[in-house]
Amino acid sequence: MIDFKVLSRVCFCLCLCFGLSACQPEIVIRLASSGETIDAPRFTLRHAKDSSKAPTYSNLKLYDGNDNLLWHVRTEPLSNDFGVEEITYGVAPDHFVTVLAAPALEANQAYALVAQGKGLGTLRFRVNSAGVLEAD
């Protein structure tokens, strides 16, 4: 027998989650150039809806192909009011502090860089055998 009270609460929660996530402006993350290598790769972050605005985010995280957190920086003080349009892996941008230090990237591995805050953005990339990053 279906409990409609529970079902209605679940539906409400799902609609709320979808509605709130739809309100977030998206952040577009790209490799800064086609020749980025594992030594000090750079990434650009842009506001998807208005490229004249800097994206605002409070966390940058890098995950490996198994979803293990490898690197994490966050704003200090914790706020969504900051954002940098170009970052270098392993370097905390201005107004950010390192929560988890960045290990060296490895060839033939997959990674995902995530920016979260007022917006959300993800870049999935691989490092080829020569140590060059390639966006998925």
Q: What is the pLDDT of residues 80-119, one digit of tens each?
A: 777 789 999 999 999 999 999 999 999 999 999 999 988 8
DSSP bridge partners of 30: 44
Q: Mean pLDDT across the stretch 29-37? A: 96
Work out the percent of the chain whose per-residue pLDDT is above 90: 63
Instruction: Give the gyration radius of the chain's Cα atoms.
Output: 17
Contact between 45 and 57 under an 8 Å Cβ cutoff? The reply is yes
**Which ranges of the chain would DSSP assign to H, the alpha helix?**
4-23
Average pLDDT, the chain: 85
pLDDT digits (tens, 9 = 90+) for 59-72: 999 999 999 999 99
pLDDT grade, residue 24 (50/70/90)?
Answer: low
Residue bearing tokens 């390192």: 98
Exposed, middle or buried, 80 (CB in 10 Å: 0-12/13-18/19+)? middle
Q: Domains (ranges, CATH) in the chain?
A: 25-135 (2.60.40)
Q: Measured between alpha carbons, how far is 15 from 36 in angstroms, rounded to an integer? A: 40
Residue 58: which residues within 8 A CB-CB, separation 6 or more? 74, 75, 78, 79, 80, 82, 116, 117
Sign of CA dihedral 20, 22, 25, 26: positive
> What pLDDT is attached to residue 55?
87
Which of 91, 88, 92, 58 lies closest to 75, judged by CA?
58
User: Pick from 110, 94, 112: which is nearest to 29 by CA?
Assistant: 112
The neighbouring-strand residues paired with 45 are 29
Supply 56's token pair. 């605002």
